[in-house]
Amino acid sequence: MPIPGQKAPDFTLFNSERKEVSLSGFQGKNVVVLFFPMAFTSVCTAELCEMRDNIATYSNLDAEILAISVDSPFTLAKFKEDQKFPFNLLSDFNKEVSKAYNTYYETFVMNLKGVSKRSAFVVDKDGVIQYAEVLESAGDVPDFLAVRQTLSSLN
């Protein structure tokens, strides 16, 4: 797993609007990179709604949010529309980014293969990881207080 102090693995993925988004495109901004198992599931919805409802806080901390799952861009577009998420949802359909961040279930519930683990990374303006949390249980949510405290310390 990438750990604090390491350069964050760069990636380019399609968002729910079918546009390519790269982590390196946010150089000069802090980025919260969230991986979540699946769109439309209860804990994922609650997790991303927490980010949506606190978007002003993250904006004030000069942070962009990138939320990544292995869902298709089309599924993510519907999820984003339903929940009115004001940030990018990115499709790691080929599972390469989840593997690069070592936040990956070989086998998930219902024997689904290759699903992202729920996790949170804070990447600073220079592309260095400042916070990393990968959860083994999909029922848990990241420590958003720790994420916000990390962002505060960077500003």
- Catalytic option among 44, 51, 77, 134: 44
Tell which phi-psi region holds residue 28, choosing left (phi > 0), alpha (psi between -120 and 50) or beta.
left
Task: Determine the Cα–Cα distance for residues 62 and 70; give it in Å rounded to an integer.
Answer: 27
Residue 88 exposure: Cα atoms within 13 Å on the Cβ side? 24
Calculate ∠ Cα 125-116-101, nearest 5°. Answer: 40
49 classed as catalytic = no
Kindly list the catalytic residues: 44
